[in-house]
Amino acid sequence: MKTLSDLLLLGDPRLYDVCEPIRADEQPLVAGWVADLHNVMQQVRTRYGFGRAIAAPQIGIMKRLIYMNIDKPAGRGPVVFVNPTLTNLSDEQFELWDDCMSFPSLLVRVSRHKSLTINYLDEHFIPRQWHMTDDLSELIQHEYDHLDGILCTMRAVDDKAFQYRVL
């Protein structure tokens, strides 16, 4: 089982790698990967007090996999996104201070699309689609970027878009 010590931190070259799709023959591995993602995210929440989603490359699994658990009463509970793609990215964008488990003491001002559609396979490889807006749209863009080796530091709105956060 992966733990907080397996979380890749800013500067680790693997965070900049593009992830490979999960093949159909790897589907039996997904449950174990999701358990690892869940465990590390829970440890981040306990230690740092934040974390709604995590991408597989953040714990060294170089696959196109995102685990989200937003704990909203009307939400869907934990959601597993296998081989996601983003479509219908809105022209309208908004700015926010973004954080990341891979550098928990740093906030980065970024611009994100206000809405989008995510197409993905669930953990059973059943095709799904979800239209997201506002905070969920921002969240999934952040995690999706990880799959392409892009960190929010690379999306900073300008050279003053960084803020230290005391945890």
Which residues participate in catalysis according to the annotation? 143
* Nearest-10 Cα torsion for 65, 157, 12, 166: -100
Q: Where are the alpha helices (DSSP H) in the chain?
A: 27-48, 134-147
Q: Which residue has the tokens 């931190």?
A: 9
Contact between 33 and 63 (Cβ < 8 Å): yes
Q: Which residues pair with 12 in a beta bridge?
A: none
Alpha-carbon span 1 to 90, nearest angstrom: 38
Token readout for 123 is 């953990």
